[in-house]
Every structure is written in C-alpha cells, then in structure tokens.
Chains A and B, each alone.
Chain A
Amino acid sequence: MSTEPASETQWREPDPPGSGVIPCVEAPAIPRETQLELLQLGLLQRLTEDRAMLLYRQGRIPGSYYTGRGQEAVGAAAGLCLGPDDVVAPLNRELSCHFARGVTVADVFRNFLARATGPTRGRDGNMHFGMPARGVFPLVSMLGVLCPVSVGAALAFKRRGEPRVALTFWGDGAMCTGDVHEGMNLAGVLDVPAVFVIQNNQYAYSTPTGREMVNTNIAERIEGGWSIPCQRVDGTDAIAAYAAIGEAVRRARDGDGPHAVEAFSLRMHGHAAHDDASYVPSELLDHFANRRDPIKRLRKRLELDGVPQSELDELHARVSDEVAEGLAEAERAPPADPDTIQDGVYAMPPSHA
C-alpha cells in the first residue's frame, strides 16, 4: 500500500516507506551553523505567522492575512544564499527570506498592525512590504510583474560589471502569467544575473497546478522553453533547497546568465486566513503535516546528525522569545497618521510655481 496520497502534481521521487517525518538530506558539506540558521529562519517565519494568525482572529490585524506554512524552507534557503549586496523580491510565502535579509520581527509586525513607523507606514498591509535599505523590494500584488523588475535590477548589475544577483520568487499560478514569460525571455536574451525560484505548492488559491498548465513539470518547461537551467528540488527540504538555490546564485553571479529552481511543496494552509482550503484533499494535507513539514524535517536531520535535543529546544525558545519581544515592540509603535497620506506620492513633487 502506498503511503503517498494522490495529488494532481506528483513529486517525482516517491517517499521512503514508513509514516514518520522524513529527515532532510544529509549534507556534511553544508556547515552545521548554516543548517541551524536555516532552522532558526524557518521557525521565525512559522512562529511569527502563528502569532499573527491569532492576532488576525482577534481582529487586531486589519484586512487579510497570509502565511507560508509548509514553504518556510525555501525563503530561508534563498535568503541565506544571497550576499549582502544582492537584491530580492519576495512574495507572500517567503517571510523567512525577509528575516534572512535582517528585517526584524518588529518591522514585520509593524506592517501587519499598520503602524506609522512600519516599513510602509501603514500605506500597505500584510506581506506587502519590503525594506529597500536591505535590498528587499516591496511585494506588488499583480502576480508576475516582479519578474521583469528583477530582471531589470540584474541588468543594472551586468551593465556596471558588479558581481551581484537579483532573485525573485513566484508560484505555480503566477507561472501562467505573461510577465513571467516576458521576464524570463528577456533575462535570457540579455543574459543577466537573475535567479528565479518557483514555489510549486500545488495550488493557486483553489486551482490545482494540473488545471493551471498542461505540463506541470515547471523545471522541464523553463529549461526547454526559455533555455534557463532549472533544478527541481524538494521544497520541504531546507538543505536540498539551500544547495540548489546556492548553485543557481553562484552560477548567475559568475556570469553564467539567469538560473532557476523549482521548489516543490504544499501550501499547508488556506490561501489566506479566511480560507479553510476544503478543496485540498485532507489526506494530502495530513501527509505533508506528518511527513513533510519543513521545520520538522530539518530538526529531524539535525537530531540524526547528533545535535542535542536540548540545543534544538533552546533554539525554539529563543525564537519564541524573539517573536514575543518583536510583537511587544511593534505594539508600542504609533498608529498611522492621516496627516501624512500625501507624503511621498512623488520623489520630486512638481512645482507649479
């Protein structure tokens, strides 16, 4: 009897037999410190989002709220693969990538809570923020549009001969937009140091990947259609994702043109807080929760490699404190100020004088 539930997009490699958590791949070449950092970043996302979800349910977060549950490994891996001078445009599922860039829990909660001193000063909510000083572009909702924007940043690096890369993410749903095609095609033609990480989480809101595209092997399509090297990786395995994205980033930086990675996972939560995801088969959700939760998988790997439970528990406690402290700090921030609504519409306000 197969333990793997049917999904419309199958991960190519079958799961090992058994029912327990599948540990991340063994990677002695990746320093222990880095592996612990991946865990810390993934946990930061998980615990921040868990906390935010509670706040949302209490009515303290206005608007809607999105989590990246089940995809924390990918943003963390990409974030750690980038250097300080690289730039990135994360989307809704990549809070861990913001943290890797040095965005703080307080910054994040100041945005969720729409405070005056938050990254968008209350002009935008939930994951729709960036920190330009940390090379993080603020999310624009129109899916696909940040692909060409990232290609343009990479073009600037190439023009100036700077060894920097621009990385962006998108989902299986956004894979079907025209901008993604135009952006990837342009990246190839201009031969720029851009890295694309496609989060194939099997659903675009309620639509399974098989109804978004005929050939659901995104990596194969990117290689065959756009001639961009693309590795397909298990997106619930932080270590495998780190290795694959790291190689893509290195190659792009070395002048080898655009590179891509398809990270396969499952969106382990509704599209947003209001969505119960009843359209996702419960056995698929259970399967990922039990065997393919990226946080559990990485912890299991570290345990197998001899990191003491106590050290991992301590890490968890530290992250938990960091989230509580960040939230407390954000709650002390003043509310957004209506008198400032028109500030900054223009970088250079036109003079009619």
Chain B
Amino acid sequence: MSEITYLEAIRAALEDAMHEDERVFMLGEDIGHFGGPFGATKGLAETFGTDRIIDTPISEEGFVGAALGAAWMGERPIVELQFADFISCAFDPIVSVGAKTHWRSGIRFPVVIRAPFGGGIRGGPFHASCPEGWFVGVAGLKVVAPGTVEDAYGLLRSSIDDDDPVIYFEHKGLYRRLKGSRPTPATRTPIGKARVVQAGSDATIVTYGAGVDLARTATAATNGNGSSVEVVDLRTLWPFDEEAVLSSIDKTSRVLVLQEAARSTGAAGVVMSLISQHAFELLDAPAKLHAPVDTPVPFAPELEDAYLPSVDSLTAALDDLLSY
C-alpha cells in the first residue's frame, strides 16, 4: 500500500465521504479550484464541482452559521477555516447555536468544522494558536485532534458520520511530516475513544495532536535507558476518554500531561481535574503538566522554539517525574 501524508489522509477522507454521500459538501475560503491555503482540498472542485466545494466570502460567522442551517435541513456540511485562530470569528454560531440546539429542541447538526491549528511554522500570534481549550468542556460540542495519519483519516470520517457538531483540529506541523499507509474507506476512529500508542509501565504521558509524535520521539531514548513510558493519545478532547486515562495511571502511577496549547487552556484542565479527583490514590508523584507558558504563540524562531514543548524539554520533565 502506498504511503500518504497526514494532509493527504485528510483529503482522502473528504474525497471518500463525498463519493459515498451526496449530502456531504464543503464551505470555506479559497477551497475551490485554488485548493485552500494548505492544499487540503486540491482537486476536489474538479471532481465534485463548485456546487459541492463552495468558495465563500470572508465570513466565518456567516458560513459556519449557514453550515448549521444546511445541517438542520439534513445536509452534512464540512467547513474549512483557513487557520484555527479564525475560529474566534465563528464563536457565536458554534457555542450559541451548534452546542445548545439539540438539547433545547432535538434538531441535529451533523457539521464538521476543520480547524488547522498549532505552531512550529513561524505563524506567530494569529496563525499558530491552539484554541481547542475554548471548546473543551462545552456541552453539546465534540472536539477531536488526530495525532497520526490513520486517525487523521479515521477521525475525519467519524466526524462526518456524526450527528453532532464536531470541531476537528488538524495540526499544520504534521501535514507533511507524518506519513503512513492509506487507510481503507472503511476506516473509522471512534469519537470519544483514546488509544495507547505505546505501552509502558513507569509513567504515562497523556497527550494529543503533535504531542503524540513528540512523546514517542522523546521516549524512544528514555525507554531504551531502562524505563518504559506509556503514551496515551486522547484523540477526542471532548468529551474525552476518562477511563483510558485512569486505567493507564492505574498501571504506571505517574502521569504527565503534554500539550502544545498554553498551560492554562487546551485539554489539560479537564484531564488534570479528572486526575486530582479520581487518581489521587493511584499516584506516586504529583501529576505533571508540560505545556507552554501563558502567552500567545510568539513569532521569532528563538522565541517559538523556547515556547513549544521539545524533545529536550519533555525529556527533562519526564526525568523530573520519574525521579520524584
């Protein structure tokens, strides 16, 4: 089977879903013949026509709202944001309409919002954010973030199949870096289910998105040095798989939560809350949070490199945890 990138897996999922279901269509800026700023939709307008790959004006609030309206009528729209940072412009339709309407009235919104997030590409404060924390904890929303090629495909297919609004955070830094075999059209990653991507017994890293690859890389050395670290990929950030987090800690008795979002946002808050309430007696050391400081994402290479978690910073944090 041929190798594809994380970005190509996203495109493949869009393509397969559109072939299988007439109701699936896309709205977004420059996604038509241009193919989107990262090329995620390249070729789709040629295959499916501009009636299904619809270029919109710069109106995040407008086209996210419109996606909800079309979903109300039984369509299954996918919205592309150029950068996850711009999700702030669509906050109202997402949290006021998308999140609350099923609970109030039973209307279903099978809408997927694709949000390219994350740093390492010198995007600065407005093109490298991790805004998932604004939505983690919001009843009625689902938030997912694939950290592998297979999940990039499988989570997107599951999000499209889902009858609730799903925000799909795809990591820009992984687009071309991660490669894997092309998932079959039947591949699905269940929403709400984490995965142990690497088994270990001395400590658990709970992470998601770009953290998954980072955790694997950083522990490759550590694990060779006689300690073994388990890596749990949340995959769904909200509502997340509490059971998977607790059962890993039950095994390892030490936990580090790793995220690229600034330390007081992201998914860390809800994971740490779970740990402090339900894993206290399982722990041999205080739960550790490894995440950037509370600032916007800085631009200068020196600043961004210092800001983002790295193999070195993660290794040091793990050493701390293991030697406690």
What is the interface of chain A, defined by CB distance below 8 A to chain B? 87, 119-120, 123-124, 128-130, 132, 137-138, 140-142, 145-157, 159, 166, 178-179, 182-183, 185-186, 189-190, 344-348, 350-352
Contact = CB atoms under 8 A, between A and B. Distances in A.
A346 B66 contact: no
Nearest to A350: B192
A87 B191 CA distance: 32
A119 B70 CA distance: 22
A348 B162 CA distance: 7
B106 interface: yes
Given A152-B70, A152-B71, A157-B73, A147 B65 contact: yes
18 contacts: A120-B105, A140-B100, A142-B92, A148-B61, A149-B65, A149-B68, A149-B93, A152-B67, A153-B73, A156-B69, A159-B25, A179-B61, A183-B62, A344-B103, A344-B106, A347-B109, A348-B164, A352-B192
Contacts of B104: 120, 123-124, 128-129, 138
Contact of B69 (A123, A149, A182, A347): A149
A151 B69 CA distance: 7
B101 A151 contact: no
Given A120-B104, A140-B96, A347-B164, A352 B241 contact: yes
Interface of B: 25, 51, 54, 56-57, 59, 61-75, 77, 92-93, 96-97, 100-109, 139-140, 142, 162-164, 190-193, 236, 239, 241-244
B103 A152 contact: no
A186 B190 contact: no
A132 B59 contact: no
A46 to B, nearest CB: 26
Nearest to A168: B69
Contact of A185 (B62, B73, B101, B139): B62
Nearest to A190: B54
A347 B108 contact: yes
Given A129-B104, A140-B97, A352-B192, 10 more contacts: A137-B105, A142-B97, A146-B97, A148-B65, A150-B69, A151-B66, A189-B57, A346-B140, A346-B164, A347-B102
B68 A156 contact: no
A153 B54 contact: no
A350 B235 CA distance: 13
Contact of A345 (B75, B97, B103, B190): B103
A287 B225 CA distance: 88
A156 B101 contact: no
A141 B70 contact: no
Given A185-B57, A347-B163, A138 B62 contact: no
Nearest to B106: A132
Contact of B66 (A119, A123, A124, A148): A148
Contacts of B97: 140, 142, 145-146, 149
A145 B92 contact: yes
A346 to B, nearest CB: 5
Nearest to A184: B62
Contact of B102 (A129, A140, A141, A345): A345
B102 A344 contact: yes
Contact of B101 (A87, A138, A152): A138
A302 B103 CA distance: 44
A343 to B, nearest CB: 8
Contacts of A148: 59, 61-66, 68-69, 93
A178 B70 CA distance: 20
A147 B92 CA distance: 12
